[in-house]
Amino acid sequence: MEHYRKSSHTVYDIKYHLVWITKYRKPVLRGEIAERARDLIREICKANDVEILKGHVSREHVHIFVSVPPHISVSELMKSIKGKTSRKMLMESKALSKAFWGRHLWARGYFAASSGNVTDEVIMKYIEEQGKEPEDADFKIEDL
């Protein structure tokens, strides 16, 4: 339990690997622009109590591995990160706003995968061993 995070009424360990790309996969994330993207992503995550465990900004995409509180969905987090970084970076950089004249820095969509310390098989075995119910049920009730 040493790596579990806690809030007032919750103990959790929810981690996601998230990846998103620039529109048209344009290789614009380098130098000061890449640093600005990283700084904005850090600010947005900190404001939402999202802990960045690892991250990497490539020329045309970003990878982050994050620990997220249970009240924030992946789609909410990605909407916030992509929306705020795009708006701020396009406002601040004439070169970017020229390259992305449609007001969108990021391509539509993203990749998301959850991570954990326990496999699906371990969870299913744990649930399986919870009672003495009939073996043919997939969703059991104890003390029926």
Statement: residue 103 has pLDDT above 90: no
Question: What are the C-alpha distances in Å from 62 to residues 21, 107, 111, 130?
Answer: 6, 12, 10, 41
* CATH architecture of the domain covering 5-116: 2-Layer Sandwich (3.30)
Statement: residue 21 has pLDDT above 70: yes
Mean per-residue pLDDT for 112-126?
78
* Per-chain mean pLDDT for the chain: 87
Statement: residue 41 has pLDDT above 70: yes
Q: How many CB atoms lie within 10 A of CB 72?
A: 15
Statement: residue 95 has pLDDT above 60: yes
Phi-psi region of 140 (alpha: psi -120 to 50; beta: other; left: phi over 0): beta
- The C-alpha R_g of the chain, in whole angstroms, comes to 20
Name 52's bridge partners.
66
In terms of Cβ atoms closer than 10 Å to its own Cβ (0-12, 13-18, 19+), residue 28 is buried
Statement: residue 144 has pLDDT above 70: no
Q: Which of 66, 87, 88 is nearest to 77 (CA)?
A: 66
At residue 78, the 3 state secondary structure works out as helix
Look-up: residue for tokens 């406002």? 91
Domain spans of the chain?
Answer: 5-116
